[in-house]
Structure 1
Amino acid sequence: MMRHCCATMDDSVPLLSPTTEGSTMGEVSATKSLPAAIYFLILLSAIGGFLFGYDTGVVSGAMILVREDFKLSIEWHELIVSATIAAAMMAALVAGPASDRFGRRPVILCASLVFLAGALVMGAAPEKVTLLVGRIIVGIGIGFASMAVPVYLSEVSPVELRGRITVVNNIFITGGQVISAVVSGIFSEVTMGWRYMLGLAGLPALLQLIGSAFMPESPRWLISRGRDAEAMKVLEKIRPKDADLINEIEVMKAALAEDTNQRGLREVLSSAPVRQALLVGSLLQLFQQISGINTVMYYSASIITMAGITDKSLAIWLSAATSSMNFFGTFLGLWLVERLGRRSLTLGSLLGTMLSLFVMALTFQMAYINSPKVTFPNSDSHECFADSCGVCTSKSSCGYCFMGDQNDILNSTCLATDETSYNEMSVTGWCSNSTLINDGQVTFAYDWCPYKYAWLCIMGLAIYLLCFSPGMGPMPWTINSEIYPGWARATCTSITTSINWTANLVVSLTFLTLTELLLKHGVFYMYMGLAGLGLIIFFFLLPETRGVALEDMENLFSKPLSSRFRR
C-alpha cells in the first residue's frame, strides 16, 4: 500500500527501547521502527503538559513578589492561587464532551490559544483583579490540556508503547515545574520579576498553537465519524511500514460498531465494566492528590522554610532542587512502565510515598517536641502566651522572635502578627524594636522553629518526590487514558480529570488550616495514612493493563477481580 506521507514524515527512527525476541511483555521487536511523525506528535501535544506543569509550579515563586507589589491580603493570595485550580476543574468537565463532538485536536489547539491569552493577561496585569482573571484563563487552558492530551496520546500510540508515550506527557509536566522553579529563582531579585515568570508561559503556548496546525486528528475519533480514509492516512504516517493498518482499523471499527448506541453518562453508569473502570480511574486521581503531592509542590518552599531554612533565596533554590527529583523520577517511570507494568509501579510508588511521608512527619514532630523555649513569655497577649517555639508557631497569628543564631538563642518571645506584618521584613523590624530585645541578630520565625536536624525534612521531601514521580505521578493519567472503551473514553476521562482538580483544590486550600489544627507533623501523618489506604484499595481493585489493546479493556473489567492482577 502506498504511504501518503512526505519524506520527513516517512524517515524512520529507532524505537524507544528495541529488544530481541524473548524480552518482557510490552517490548517491541528491534526489527520495527516508528516514523518520525509519531515523535513529532508526542512532542507537540506534550507541550500542553509542559504548560500545565509550568503554570501550576510558577505561582509559588511569583506570589512571593506579587503579594508585596499589590499588597495582597492572605485571602487574595489564596484566591489567586486557587482560582486556576477551580477553573481547571470546570474546564475539564467541558473538555470531554467537546473532544467527542469536535475532536481531540481542536481541544488541544484551543488549550494552546487560551494558555497564550492567559500568559499575556497575567504578564501585563496592572492590579490584582486583572491578575485573577489571567489565572482563571490559564486554568481553563490547563483543564482542557490535562483532559485532551493524555487521551490523544493514548489513541495515536501503538499498543506496545502506549504506556511510555503517555508517560512522556508527565515528563513534560514535571519538566515544566522544574523550569518554573528555576525561572522563579532567576527573576526573584528582578524588579517586577513576577511579570516575566508568569508571562514567559506564552512562548511554548505560541509554539504549540503554531504546531497544532500540522497535528492530525486521532484516528479513532475519525473512524467514529465514518472518516476511514482520513484515519488510514494518519495511521500510515505514525505506524511502522510493516504494520497491519487494515486490521487495526477493522478492530477499531468493530469496537465502535458495538458501541454506536451507547453514549453519555447514563450509558457509562449502566455498563458494569465501564462503571468499574470509572471507579478505579476516579480513585487513582483522588489518591494522587490526597497523598499530598500538590501540597508538596505548591508549598515546597514553605515546607523548606518550616524546616528552618531562613534564607528566601536558598529556600527557592532548594525547592527547585527537590522539584528536579520529581522530573528525573518520571524518567524512571518511563523506563519501568512497560517492564514492571502499571499495577506494580503504582503499588511500589505508594509504598515509597508512605515511608517518605513518615520521615517528614517524624522530623516535624521532633522539631516540635525539641523546639527552643520562650525566654520572655508575652504577658500582654493571651493568644500568644507560649512556653516554646513549637506552641508559638502552631498559631497562625503568632511567631517566635529570637536573638542570636539558631544554635545559640540568647533571648526569645512569642509575638502576635497581623495582615500589616504579612511582609516578613516589616515583621522583623517590629520584632527588633521590641523592648525585650534591643540589640544583636534578631529573627522572626512565623511558621518554623530552629532545629538542627531540619535537613531530614528536606531529605524526606526529595525521597517523596523520587518515589511518587515514577508511579503515582504518571500512572493515574496513563491508566485513565486507556481503560475505557472508545465511546466512553472522553466522558470518563473528563470526569476523572475533574475529580483530580477538585481534590487538588481541596488539598491546596486546607493545607495551611490543617497545619494549625493538626500541627505540621499531624498533617503529614494524615497524608501517610491516606497513601496507605490507597495502597490497600489498589492492591485489590487495580488490574494490570500493560499490553491490553484499547478495544479489549471492557473485557478486562468484565473478569473477576482475582484474574485481573497478572497477565
Structure 2
Amino acid sequence: MLRHGHRYGYQPRSSMEPNDSELDESDSGDRVGLLQPRPGGGGGRPDQVDWRATGLAFLFPAIGGLLFGWDIGTTSGALTSIMDPNTSGVDWYALDSFQQGMVVSTSLAGALLASAAAAVKVGDEFGSKTELQLAALFYGAGAIVQGLAPSLGVLIMGRFTYGLGIGFAMHAAPMYIAETAPPSVRGLLISLKEGFIVGGIMLGYLGSYVIFGQDEGWRSLLSTPAVPAAVLMLGMSRLPDSPRWLLQRGRPASEAREALEQVRGKKANRDIVDAEMARMVSSDHHVGGINELFRRENLRPLYIGISVVLFQQITGQPSVLYYAEQVFINAGYDPADGAGVAVILGFFKLLMTGVAVAFVDSAGRRPLLLGGVGIMTLSVLTLAVCSETMASGDVAGTSFTARASVAAIFAYVGAYQVSFGPIAWLLVGEIFPQRVRSAAVGTATLTNFFSNFLVSLYLPTLNENLGTAGTYYLFSVMSVVALSSIYLTVPETKGKTLEEIEESLR
C-alpha cells in the first residue's frame, strides 16, 4: 500500500493503516474520503475541525489577499489626492494621462513578473510559506517607498515593488490554504480568502474617503499596508511549511507529519490525520515544472484551472463595473454620488461572497459555478438589450429600462461573487496535481492578471467600435461559452482530499 513509506521514513501505525475501500468512503456523498472513527482510535468526531489551528493557517495567507484588495480600493483615491494641487504637497502633481496610467498599472506589471517567477522557479524551490514571507517583504517595502516617494519615478518604483508582493501572494495563498486546510472546510476557507480581497477593497474605499482633502493624504493611504505586511511576515514565521511541499522536497515524513499535526490542531480526529498522511506519503513526490504541464495526464486539470480564471475576466466583469456609474446616473442618481455607487456595489460584493462561503462546501463547486454563470449570462444580456433600447431614443421606456439595468448590474455582481469570484481561485488551489501544482497555479495566476490587463486595455476600443450594447452582447456570448465549458469539464471536488482529486482526474 505505502510503496514510498520506507523511502520517507514514515510507517503508519498498523491499527490505523487504511485500506482502499475506507479511503474512498463518501458518507453518502457529504464527506468524500474521510474515514469513520474506529474503536480505540484517535478520538474526535469524523469531521472535527480545530478552528484555532485551522484558522491561523488560513488567516495569515488571507492577509496577502487583503493587501491586494487594499491596492485596488485605494489607487483611485490616492491618484486623486496626488493630482489635487491643494492636497498633493508635491510639485509634480500635474500628471498627464500616460503618467496616470503608469501609476495605476505598474503594480499589475510587478504582479505579472512575480507570477511568472513563481511559476518557473520560486514556488517549487521555496514553498508557499517562504513565498508568502517574500510577498510580505515586497508589500512592506513597496508601501514604505510609496509613502515616502519624493518624485514620480520613486512612486512608480514603489508601485512596482508592491505589485511583486501581489503576484507572489496571489500565487502562494491559495496553494498554502489548499494544502493545509481540512478537506471538509477547504472550499469555505479558499472562498473566504476572496472575501478578504473584497474586504480589502472596501477598506481601501473607506481609507480614500478618510484622507479626502487632507494634505498629502495619499502618503498615509499608500504606506498603511506596511503594518499588515509586518503581521503577515510574523504570522507566517509561526506556521509550518506545507506538509505536501516538505515531502515533495524529499524531507523526512516525520517532519511532514509534525507540520500536518500543527495545522490540523489537537482536536482533529487522529484516524483522519493518519489516513491523510498515508495518502500523502504514498503519492508521487516528483517535482515537475513548466515543462511537465503539457503532459497528457496534466492537460485536463490545466485546462480547467486556466479556463476558469480566463472566463473570470472575459465574461464581462470589468465592463459591468466600468459602466456601473453611468447606469446609475441613467437611473436618476446624482453624478456626484459616483463614489457612493462604488461603496454600495462593494458592500453587495462582500455580502454575496459570504453566501458563497456559506454554501460552497455543502452545495458544491459545480452548482454554484453553473448557477452563478447562468445568471451572469442573463444579466449581461439584459444590460445589452437595455443599452440598445436607451440608445434608440425610446423616451417612454427609458425609466423602466434604466431601473432594469440597475437590477441587472446587482444580479450580475451577486452571481459573479458566488461563482467566478471565489470558486475560480478555489479550483486553482485544489485541481492541479502536486508535482506540477506550483507551476500550474503560477500559470493560472499569470493568465488571470494578463487577461485582466488586456480586457481593461481594449475595453474602451471595444465600446467605441461595437457600442455599449454590442460590447454587452459580446460578453453574453462569452458567458455562454464559459457555461458550456464548465458543464463539460469541471468536476465536483467538495470534501475530497487533494490526492483523491488528483486520482479522479488522472
TM category (shorter chain) comes to 0.7 to 0.9
Partner of 1:72: 95
Tell me, yes or no, if the aligned pair for 1:114 and 1:137 is still in contact at 8 Å: yes
Among 341, 348, 351, the alignment partner of 2:364 is 341
Give the structure 2 partner of residue 459 of structure 1.
407
Whether 2:123 is the aligned partner of 1:99: answer: yes
Extract unaligned runs of 5+ from structure 2: 1-26, 35-44, 86-92
Question: Using a 3 Å threshold, how does the CA distance of structure 1 residues 517 and 31 change in structure 2: closer, same or farther?
Answer: closer
Q: 2:479 aligns with which of 523, 526, 531?
A: 531
- Deviation of the 1:82 alpha carbon: 2.1
Q: In structure 2, which of residues 113, 118, 133 is the aligned counterpart of residue 90 of structure 1?
A: 113
Question: How high is the sequence identity, in percent, across the aligned residues?
Answer: 29
Aligned residue number for residue 329 of structure 1: 352
Contact (CA 8 Å) 1:66, 1:194: kept in 2 or not? yes
Q: Which residue does 2:77 correspond to in 1? A: 61
Q: Does 1:110 align with 2:138?
A: no
Partner of 1:41 in structure 2? 57
CA contact (8 A) 1:352 1:464 kept: yes
Give the superposition deviation at 1:199. Answer: 2.4
* Segment drifting more, 468-477 vs 126-135: 126-135
Q: Does 1:250 align with 2:278?
A: yes
Is the 8 Å Cα contact of residues 60 and 299 (structure 1) preserved in structure 2?
Answer: no
Give the whole-Å Cα distance in 1 for the aligned partners of 2:213 and 2:379: 33
What is the CA deviation profile of residues 455-499 of structure 1, one whole-angstrom value per residue up to 9, with x for unaligned ones? 544433222211100111011111111111211110111001100
CA contact (8 A) 1:60 1:298 kept: no
Q: Distance in 2 between matches of 1:222 and 1:268?
A: 21
In structure 1, what is the equivalent of residue 255 of structure 2?
A: 230
Does the residue aligned with 1:339 lie in a helix, a strand or coil?
coil
**Cα contact 2:462–2:471 (8 A) shared by 1:** yes
Are the aligned partners of 1:178 and 1:323 in contact in 2 as well (CA < 8 Å)? yes
Alignment partners' CA distance in 2, 1:492 and 1:213: 25
Task: Give the secondary structure class of the aligned counterpart of 1:121.
Answer: helix
Select 1:284's aligned residue among 284, 288, 308: 308
The alpha carbon displacement at 1:113 in A equals 1.3
Structure-2 change in CA distance of 1:346 and 1:267 (3 Å): same
Match 1:520 to one of 451, 454, 468: 468
Cα offset, 1:347, TM superposition: 1.1
1:185–1:316 contact (8 Å) kept in structure 2? no
- Partners of 2:435 and 2:47 lie apart in 1 by 34
Distance 1:280 1:27, change over 3 A: closer
**What is the alpha-carbon distance in structure 1 between the residues aligned to residue 108 and residue 198 of structure 2?**
17
Q: Name whichever of 137-146 and 148-157 sits farther off.
A: 137-146
Per the normalisation by structure 1, the TM-score is 0.75
Paired residue secondary structure (2:218)? helix
Residues 146-295 of structure 1 aligned to structure 2 (within 5 Å)? 146-225=170-249, 226-239=251-264, 240-244=267-271, 245-256=273-284, 259-260=285-286, 263-270=288-295, 272-295=296-319
C-alpha distance in structure 2 between counterparts of 1:138 and 1:466, whole Å: 29
Partner secondary structure for residue 160 of structure 1: helix
After TM superposition, give the deviation of residue 191 of structure 1 in Å: 3.6
Q: Does the 8 A contact of 1:26 with 1:161 survive in 2? A: no
Give 1:349's aligned amino acid. G
Matched, 1:546 2:494: yes
Pick the structure with more helix per residue: 2
> Which residue does 2:152 correspond to in 1?
128
For 1:71, what is the secondary structure of its paired residue?
A: coil
Describe the SS at the equivalent of 1:48. helix
Show structure 1 runs of 5+ residues with no match. Answer: 1-20, 373-449, 559-567
Q: 3-state SS of the aligned residue for 2:421?
A: coil
Q: Deviations over 1:315-340 (max 9, x none)?
A: 11221110111111111111121122
Structure with max Cα Rg: 1
Please name the residue that 1:479 is paired with.
427
1:422 aligned residue: none
CA distance in structure 1 between the partners assigned to 2:96 and 2:238 by the alignment: 45
Cα-to-partner distance string for 1:73-117 (whole Å, 9 max, x where unaligned): 222222322222222122112123212111211100110111111
What number of residue pairs does the alignment pair up?
A: 457
Aligned partners of 1:234, 1:196: CA distance in 2, in Å?
38
Q: CA deviation at 1:283?
A: 0.5
- C-alpha offsets along residues 349-396 of structure 1, whole Å, 9 cap, x if unaligned? 111112222333334333333289xxxxxxxxxxxxxxxxxxxxxxxx
CA RMSD of aligned residues (A): 2.6
Q: Is the 8 A contact 1:273 1:555 kept in 2?
A: no
Deviations 1:103-150 (A, max 9, x none): 211100110111111112222333332222222112111100111000
Partner amino acid, structure 1, of 2:190: T
Q: Whole-Å Cα distance in 1 between the matches of residues 426 and 223 of structure 2?
A: 30
- Residue 160 of structure 1: CA displacement? 1.6
8 A contact 2:81–2:213 mirrored in 1 = no
Amino acid at match of 1:202: A
Task: Work out the CA distance in 1 between the residues paired with 2:292 and 2:170.
Answer: 24
The Cα shift of 1:23 comes to: 8.3
Distance 1:348 1:540 in 2: 14
Q: Which stretch of structure 1 is more off in the superposition, 235-244 or 493-502?
A: 235-244
Larger strand fraction of residues: 1
SS in structure 2 at match of 1:469: helix
CA 31–292 in structure 1, closer or farther in 2 if over 3 Å, else same: closer
Tell me, in whole angstroms, the C-alpha distance in 1 between the residues paired with 2:386 and 2:151.
40
C-alpha distance in structure 1 between counterparts of 2:160 and 2:323, whole Å: 20
Distance 1:210 1:83, change over 3 A: same
Structure 2 residue 57 is matched with structure 1 residue 51: no
Distance of 2:392 and 2:151 partners within structure 1: 43
Partners in 1 of 2:319 and 2:147 — Cα distance?
Answer: 25
Counterparts of 2:130 and 2:321, CA distance in 1: 30
> How far did 1:24 drift?
3.6
